[in-house]
Each structure stands twice: as C-alpha cells, then as structure tokens.
Amino acid sequence: MSLKLYNSLSSKKEIFKSISDKIVKTYGCGPTVYNDPHIGNFRTFVFYDLLNRVLQLNGYETETAVNITDIDDKIIDRVNQENSSLKEITSKYELSFMELSKSLKILPNNHNPRATEYVEEMIEFIQALIDQNLAYEMNGNIFFDIEAYPKYGKFINIKDDLEAEDNELLKRNRNDFTLWKAKKDSDGNIFWESEWGKGRPGWHTECAVMIKMLFDGRLDIHCGGVDLKFPHHENESAQIEALQKHNLSNYWLHAEHLNIDDEKMSKSSGNFIDVNNLIKENGSDVVRLFLLSAHYRTKVSFSQKKLDECKKMIEKINRFAKNFKFVNQSIELKFSYDHNLFIDALNDDLNTPEAIGVFFSFISEMNKKIAKNSINKLDEEKSLVFLKLFNSIFDILDSHNLQDHKIPKNIQNLLISRQKARENQDWKLSDSIRDKILSLGWHVEDTSSGQKPSKKN
C-alpha cells in the first residue's frame, strides 16, 4: 500500500507525494523551554518520530526540524520569578527536552533551531510584510492585517466567534495577530532593537522565519498538536504564503491530545504528569509504547492500567525474541505476507494499533509452533525479520536485555518442584509455584520440551 496521510488541509487521507524524489522535509513545532515537558507534550514529539521512521521505511531520506521556542511570555515570567537570566532558564529546559527525547528513543533531528538565533531575520521578514502592505504598526507593535490576505482561514471559518489574541492593543481587525511585541516594563532586559523600537518577535513569526531560513519556506509536511492548528499554524502559513505566493506545506498533520481526568494536559493549569518520573517508575520503553499504542489522531486518557498493559506487551515480545539470536546489527529484510500487513497498517495514516495487532498475531502463531517444537528455519527467519521490522518503528527491544541469564539456584529448585507437581497433575500447586517464580522476577513458559524460564526485564 502507498503511504497515505490524513491532511488537515483537506480533512481526508491522501496518498503522500514528496516534492523531491527522495528527500522529505518536515517541520514540527517544538517545546517552549520554560519548564520540563509533560507526557502530553511527548505524545506529539513521539508522533513526529513515528512519522520520520515510517517515511524512512518507505525509502525516503528525511530532513527534519523541531524548533526550540526560547523567547515567550511564559519564559519571561519564569525569568522574573526565579530572578534568573533568559539563557539560564532556556538552556536548562532545552537540555531536559533533549535528554528525555533521547531516553524515549526519538531519532535526532537534522535541525533544532532556537528562535533567538533568528531575530535579525525575523525583523527583516516583518519589514517585508510591511512593505507589501500586509502588516502595520500600532504603538510599537506590528500586526499582520488579515484583510490584506484573502486566503486567511484555511483551517477555520474566521466568521465564527473566535478568541482573538492581544485584543487590548488597538488592532484594526479583531483577528489580526502580532508579529512584533513592543517592550513592556516586565520584559526587563529581554528585548531587541528594531526601527519600530525595542521589542521581540511574536510566536507565529518565529516559526515562519525558521521555516523560511531552513527550508526556503516550503515543506513536504508540517506537524504539531491539534491545538496548534489555529491560530498558530494558520498564522504561520499566512505570513509565508502571502509573501511567497505558494503553499508553506503540502501536508499538515496534527496529533490529538493526551488527556488526564478527561481534560487536556496543561502545565498552566497544573493538570499534567511529569515525563521523567513516569520513565523512572515504568521504564522508557513502556512509556514509548504507551505513546505509540493509540492512533495519533485519537484522544487518549492517561492511566496506569494502560502503562501496565504496555509493560506486559513488552515482556511478551522479549520472551518471544529470546527464542532467536536477536541482535541490533542490521540484517537483510526480506518481507513476507505478514510483514507487508504490518507495513500496510503503518502506511494507512500511521495506524500503529493495527500494526501492533498484526505483530502480536504473528507472535501467537509462532509461539504455538515453538510450544509444539515444530518451528522451522523459514519461520525463524520470518520471526527475526519481523522483530527487526517492528523495532525499526517502535524501538523497544534491546539486544542487551535479551541475553540469556544464569538461572539462580532458588529458581532452579522451584522449577524442579513445579515439574513434580505437574507430573502429579497437582495443577493448583503448579500454579502457586509459577506465581512464586514470577514474584522473584522470572517467567515460566510450558513447551513441548519442558519448562522454559526467562528473566523479567
């Protein structure tokens, strides 16, 4: 199946066609570095990684950018609260984002541009909009004039009663948005000089200019959380498209929220779960699988129960993988019918739940053969290929964790006692011994060749 993606521009799945034959250029809106990111933020960032990996699976080379918003009202508030500097605050939380991304196996991006590195280019960009009568100045603030751009409103009907930003700044039109913010007393020494006075760029202009500088204002795919569709992505695209007369991006992909107590996670409301603690308590692989286990366009409610289910899934995969010489080194991937079902699911708008279902159906089929000692060489090859294929996307298997472990003496004794109970058909005792072994950190599988112990990860 050809890769199909749900395009927010058309509100339907479309067959993906890249601008160039091989390289796909993608941009995802990154963190605002005033605090540690929460698990809801990382649902979006792991979604970017999923898209990148599926594109590569389809033979594309990718050039990716995820920006760092290091100038923002929330950042300035944090600087004032902690009596710190802009650089100290943003460096601290940018490092946190990078370390958590690495822990969750997110592939490094080609670019992680910081907004503060492009302010001079932003000033020039804003001046170009003014020169084209697309923007105007009011008391040191610069606004984009939406009435000067008839195509404004690609993601939303602007005739609806929308919440407008910066209403107090005497804009011409209610939905005009800020390109440049005049300095306020609370900004302290966080400002840049421009011909309109001291100030700083607006958020929408930051992303627009970084896209223009890195990708000449033209992308294959622009990603973000669904809450960024309007106004952020609307306003980003309006600026570039009004100047350049072509689409900013051919495809717009938006990930749904991860909720807690049926509400969107939000740091400002205190309704969020810290990623770092979640990883410490459950393991990064469990958290990654949890974030990938639901379709990216489906709202998901956070629960420990779902994390525990993902933990059991990983344990099952690891037990299966230990039947083979699974190593991280590359092998030639020859795809069979089962493998292609998995790929087709991913190519159907990144349908990870279906792909996981295909993979576990395959595991169940092979486990039956393993239990009967009837697995053949071809089955082993197909299993290894599938493990590699699965891990190229989900990345939750580590060959180090799949090495055989020496069975401790107490576990060996329990296995002998359990075998005797089974020979006597004392199934209640057999089950209780198995539970005891499990509590000590070992699994037991019953196969045609006997009991097969394996250490829990």
Cα distance between residue 232 and residue 209, in whole Å: 13
pLDDT of amino acid 170? 79
> What SS3 state is found at 167?
helix
Long-range CB contacts (within 8 A, 24+) of 96-99: 96/36, 96/37, 96/276, 97/30, 97/31, 97/33, 97/37, 97/68
Region 401-410 average pLDDT = 64
pLDDT of amino acid 111? 98
Higher pLDDT, 429 or 236: 236
Region 357-378 average pLDDT = 94
pLDDT of amino acid 122? 98
How far is C-alpha 261 from the chain's CA centre? 21
Q: Looking at domain 4-264, which of 3.10.129.10, 3.40.50.10140, 1.10.3720.10, 3.40.50.620 is its CATH number?
A: 3.40.50.620
pLDDT of amino acid 144? 97
pLDDT of amino acid 128? 98
pLDDT band of 102, cuts 50, 70, 90: very high
Region 260-275 average pLDDT = 70
pLDDT band of 439, cuts 50, 70, 90: confident
Rounded to 10°, the helix 73-82/86-103 angle is: 110
Given a cut of 80, whether residue 165 has pLDDT beyond it is: no
Domain ranges of the chain: 4-264, 323-402, 409-455
pLDDT of amino acid 152? 93
Residue 142 DSSP class:
E
pLDDT of amino acid 168? 66
pLDDT of amino acid 14? 98
* Helices of type H across 234-332: 234-244, 275-282, 284-292, 304-321
Instruction: Convert the pLDDT of each residue in 46-98 to its tens digit.
Output: 999 999 999 999 999 999 999 999 999 999 999 999 999 999 999 999 999 99
pLDDT band of 419, cuts 50, 70, 90: confident
Average pLDDT of every residue of the chain: 90
Region 237-251 average pLDDT = 95
pLDDT of amino acid 423? 74
pLDDT of amino acid 411? 82
Instruction: Convert the pLDDT of each residue in 125-141 to its tens digit.
Output: 999 999 999 999 999 99
How many residues in the chain? Answer: 457
Those residues with Cβ within 8 angstroms of residue 333's Cβ, 6 or more apart along the chain or in another chain: 339, 385, 388, 389
Range with lowest mean pLDDT among 8-12, 263-267, 368-372, 419-423: 263-267
Cα distance between residue 93 and residue 364, in whole Å: 43
Answer yes or no: are the C-beta atoms of 155 and 230 closer than 8 Å: yes
Instruction: Convert the pLDDT of each residue in 21-40 to its tens digit.
Output: 889 999 999 999 999 988 99
Higher pLDDT, 181 or 450: 181
Cα distance between residue 265 and residue 291, in whole Å: 14
Region 2-26 average pLDDT = 96
Instruction: Look at the block and give the residue holding tokens 């050039």.
Output: 63
Given a cut of 90, whether residue 99 has pLDDT beyond it is: yes
DSSP 200-253: EE-HHHHHHHHHHHHHTT-EEEEEEEGGGIIIIIHHHHHHHHHHHSS-SEEEEE
- Element of type H or E holding 120: helix 119-131
pLDDT of amino acid 429? 87
Answer yes or no: are the C-beta atoms of 450 and 373 closer than 8 Å: no
Instruction: Look at the block and give the residue holding tokens 């420990």.
Output: 304
Instruction: Convert the pLDDT of each residue in 113-129 to its tens digit.
Output: 999 999 999 999 999 99
Beta bridge partners of 28: 66, 223
For the chain, helix, strand, coil in percent to 5 are 50, 20, 35
Q: CA–CA distance from 148 to each of 161, 242, 260, 429 (Å)?
A: 20, 9, 41, 80
CATH class of 323-402: mainly alpha
Answer yes or no: are the C-beta atoms of 60 and 23 closer than 8 Å: yes
Q: Diameter of the chain by CA atoms?
A: 91
pLDDT of amino acid 273? 85
